[in-house]
């Protein structure tokens, strides 16, 4: 009778569950005894606010020491989850299925953050092999995500804070070279400085973009035996299924992309992969306790592969729109615009993109006027190089636009008004020849007389037609470094892209016209122009 009461009491209790996510511990979750895995999974997703739930799962270590995934459609208490000393059940909430492209598929910041934490942990524990060069780059993104810009972080610290290398680089990398802790830190800090301006979310995304290039990224390995009873590993990833030697997780032999796999079945303790060419690859798990987890992983990964090739569900479309809006707001918030003394932000409204032809493309008078004012200013400040002959001609169109016909302007003035040369010619031109102010003015007035009859709008258009023949017109220059780390300038114009020496903005070497079939990409801090 006593044993019966004890059994009834035990089986009437709710399930006590603890779940560890990469970001927090969820202790003392209470579930009904007959709850299935889906119930617990939904509860966790709701608590942490996760919407991209299809990448994640709950896993546990079974009594034989193997990692198993909790089955969603089965009762939790029927899945042989070992109890903790306090009687609770413990699960890890982890990434179960990986995308093919981080930037192309992960939508929410929270999703990327959980991926970032898990991949970072896998690298540090050496479950995910990472060579030293990539490890240092990843560490630089990690500290950017953790602390923000290096310069700003230093200002906030009363004294220089030493980086915790054990949380940034795997032991295998630290032991690979005879470098001191200070030398490792210097390497990380030098790369960290290059990440200035990246928000936490952007730094985590860049981290993942580098990490997904690692050979073992996104692959989950399970011990198996083939039909000859040889011990092997089955690696399941977003791209397909590979068979690995137990001492080599980098090079699968063979590898079957999902496009070549018709189906995967499980029968009589044996897994069978049916390929498109009607081949059959048979194997069995080294332990029966992981059969269901392995089958579930293969089927789920394949289903996600097929889903990517279908139009987005309405829910996903809405999430993408919301994420784009959040990203736009964050960009506005995070832009490092310096404040004025009165606390305001100051911006310039300028021409950003130039037409190939002023007469052929600019339509409104206001548009031409804004172009005229900006180009005129660029010439006067010598940001746009202008030889003396062109400068005098441009000055004559400028005074025509400002004052109208010279004869009529002189009639309206009681006495001859002297031209303000500083607002008409750049200093470089004025200093080029030994001419007095009167001599310069005489030159301009002689050309001005030729413009008689031009309206303000026509004079501004003629000004622009002359200006667009200048070598540097419409080209915006940015300092860059090539793969040899040489300092150069990238010039972008309506006609193409040029590479310039820093002391020569006139002659690009090479110049790539835009009429070619070009692809421009930016990845891992590098711009690539594909011809």
Q: Are residues 369 and 457 in the same domain?
A: yes
CA proximity to 397, closest of 436, 453, 470, 327 = 453
What does the block give as tokens for 92? 């890890």
How confident is the model over 283-302, as pLDDT tens digits?
998 888 888 889 999 999 99
Residue 351 covered by a domain? no
How confident is the model over 216-231, as pLDDT tens digits?
999 999 999 998 999 9
In angstroms, the Cα distances linking 425 to 335, 391, 414, 447 are 36, 6, 25, 14
Query: How far apart (Å, rounded) are the C-alpha atoms in residues 274 and 261?
Result: 6
Query: How far apart (Å, rounded) are the C-alpha atoms in residues 286 and 232?
Result: 9
The domain boundary, picked from 95, 116, 134, lies at 95
Query: How far apart (Å, rounded) are the C-alpha atoms in residues 268 and 287?
Result: 13
The domain boundary, picked from 275, 308, 341, lies at 308
Compute φ and ψ for 242, nearest 5 degrees: -125, 150
Give me the CATH number covering residue 432.
1.20.80.10
Helix residue spans in 13-131 (DSSP H): 37-48, 102-105, 109-124
pLDDT-derived band of residue 408, with 50, 70 and 90 as boundaries? confident
Q: Is the previous residue joined to 254 through a cis bond, with omega within 30 degrees of 0?
A: yes
Residue 85 covered by a domain? yes
Q: Are residues 182 and 227 in the same domain?
A: no
Residue 350 covered by a domain? no
- Mean pLDDT of the region 412-426: 83
Q: Is 28 left (phi over 0), alpha (psi -120 to 50) or beta?
A: left
Q: Are residues 78 and 168 in the same domain?
A: no
Q: Are residues 106 and 206 in the same domain?
A: yes
- Mean pLDDT of the region 101-108: 92
Query: How far apart (Å, rounded) are the C-alpha atoms in residues 103 and 136?
Result: 21
Query: How far apart (Å, rounded) are the C-alpha atoms in residues 283 and 273?
Result: 9
Q: Are residues 88 and 114 in the same domain?
A: no
CA proximity to 390, closest of 283, 334, 276, 472 = 472
Other Cβ atoms less than 10 A from the Cβ of 246: the count is 12
Give me the CATH number covering residue 224.
2.30.29.30
What's the pLDDT at 328? 78
Domain count, the chain: 5
Residue 261, pLDDT above cutoff 70: yes
Domain span holding position 62: 14-95
Query: How far apart (Å, rounded) are the C-alpha atoms in residues 98 and 96?
Result: 7
What does the block give as tokens for 158? 């009363």
How confident is the model over 33-58, as pLDDT tens digits?
999 999 999 999 999 999 999 999 99
What does the block give as tokens for 48? 């942490």
Compute φ and ψ for 323, nearest 5 degrees: -65, -40
Q: Are residues 110 and 195 in the same domain?
A: yes
pLDDT-derived band of residue 201, with 50, 70 and 90 as boundaries? very high
Give me the CATH number covering residue 86.
3.10.20.90
Other Cβ atoms less than 10 A from the Cβ of 109: the count is 17
Residue 326 covered by a domain? no
Query: How far apart (Å, rounded) are the C-alpha atoms in residues 488 and 486?
Result: 6
pLDDT-derived band of residue 7, with 50, 70 and 90 as boundaries? very low
Residue 341 covered by a domain? no
Query: How far apart (Å, rounded) are the C-alpha atoms in residues 137 and 342?
Result: 40
Q: Are residues 91 and 107 in the same domain?
A: no
Q: Which residue(s) pair with 264 in the sheet?
A: 273
Residue with tokens 């001419």: 435
Q: In what order do the strands lie in the sheet with 476-481?
A: 476-481, 487-492, 496-500, 511-513
How confident is the model over 307-338, as pLDDT tens digits?
999 998 888 888 888 888 887 777 766 666 66
- Mean pLDDT of the region 208-220: 95
Residue 95, pLDDT above cutoff 70: yes
Residue 522, pLDDT above cutoff 80: no
- Helix (H) or strand (E) holding 496, with range, is strand 496-500
Q: Are residues 169 and 87 in the same domain?
A: no
The domain boundary, picked from 64, 95, 126, lies at 95
What does the block give as tokens for 374? 């900006």
End-to-end CA distance of the chain: 84
Question: Residue 421: which residues within 8 A CB-CB, separation 6 or more?
Answer: 430, 437, 440, 441
Residue 8 covered by a domain? no
- Mean pLDDT of the region 116-136: 96
pLDDT-derived band of residue 531, with 50, 70 and 90 as boundaries? low
Residue 506 covered by a domain? yes
How confident is the model over 444-467, as pLDDT tens digits?
999 999 999 999 999 999 999 999
How confident is the model over 469-482, as pLDDT tens digits?
999 999 999 999 88
Residue 322 covered by a domain? no
Question: Residue 281: which residues within 8 A CB-CB, separation 6 or more?
Answer: 243, 256, 272, 273, 275
Radius of gyration in angstroms for the set of CA atoms belonging to the chain, rounded to a whole number: 34
CA proximity to 419, closest of 432, 433, 437, 407 = 437
């Amino acid at each position: 009778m006593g044993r019966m009461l004890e059994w009834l009491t035990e089986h009437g209790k709710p399930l006590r569950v603890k779940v560890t996510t990469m970001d927090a511990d969820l202790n003392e979750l209470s579930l009904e005894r007959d709850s299935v895995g889906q119930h617990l999974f939904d509860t966790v997703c709701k608590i942490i606010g996760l919407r991209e739930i299809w990448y994640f799962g709950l896993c546990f270590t079974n009594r034989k020491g193997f990692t198993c995934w909790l089955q969603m459609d089965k009762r939790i208490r029927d899945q042989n989850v070992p109890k903790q000393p306090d009687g609770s059940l413990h699960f890890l909430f982890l990434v179960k299925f990986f995308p093919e492209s981080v930037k192309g598929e992960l939508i929410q910041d929270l999703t990327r953050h959980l991926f970032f934490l898990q991949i970072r942990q896998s690298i540090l524990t050496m479950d995910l092999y990472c060579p030293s060069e990539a490890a240092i780059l990843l560490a630089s993104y990690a500290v950017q995500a953790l602390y923000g810009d290096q310069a700003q972080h230093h200002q906030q610290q009363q004294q220089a804070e030493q980086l915790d290398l054990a949380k940034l680089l795997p032991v295998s990398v630290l032991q690979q070279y005879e470098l001191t802790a200070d030398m490792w830190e210097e390497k990380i800090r030098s790369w960290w400085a290059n990440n200035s301006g990246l928000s936490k979310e952007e730094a985590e995304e860049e981290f993942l973009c580098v990490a997904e290039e690692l050979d073992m990224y996104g692959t989950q390995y399970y011990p198996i035996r083939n039909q000859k009873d040889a011990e092997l590993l089955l690696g399941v990833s977003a791209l397909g299924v590979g068979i690995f030697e137990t001492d080599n997780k980098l090079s699968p032999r063979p590898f079957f992309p999902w496009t070549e796999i018709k189906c995967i079945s499980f029968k009589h303790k044996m897994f069978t992969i049916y390929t498109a060419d009607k081949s059959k690859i048979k194997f069995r798990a080294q332990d029966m306790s992981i059969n269901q987890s392995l089958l579930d992983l293969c089927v789920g990964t394949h289903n996600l592969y097929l889903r990517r090739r279908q139009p987005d569900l309405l829910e996903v479309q809405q999430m993408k729109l919301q994420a784009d809006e959040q990203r736009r707001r964050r960009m506005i918030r995070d832009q490092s615009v310096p404040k004025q003394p009165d606390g305001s932000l100051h911006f310039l409204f300028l021409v950003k993109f130039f037409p190939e032809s002023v007469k052929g493309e600019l339509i409104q008078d206001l548009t031409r006027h804004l172009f005229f004012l900006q180009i005129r200013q660029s010439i006067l400040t010598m940001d746009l190089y202008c030889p003396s002959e062109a400068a005098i001609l441009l000055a004559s169109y400028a005074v025509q636009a400002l004052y109208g016909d010279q004869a009529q302007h002189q009639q309206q003035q009681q006495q001859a008004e002297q031209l303000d040369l500083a607002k008409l010619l750049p200093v470089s031109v004025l200093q080029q020849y030994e001419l007095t102010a009167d001599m310069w003015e005489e030159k301009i007035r002689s050309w001005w007389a030729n413009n008689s009859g031009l309206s303000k709008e026509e004079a501004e258009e003629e000004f622009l037609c002359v200006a667009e023949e200048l070598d540097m017109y419409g080209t915006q220059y940015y300092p860059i470094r090539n793969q040899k780390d040489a300092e150069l300038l990238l010039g972008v114009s309506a006609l193409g892209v040029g590479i310039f020496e820093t002391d020569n903005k006139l002659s690009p070497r090479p110049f790539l016209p835009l009429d070619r079939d070009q692809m421009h990409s930016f990845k891992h801090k590098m711009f690539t122009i594909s011809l």
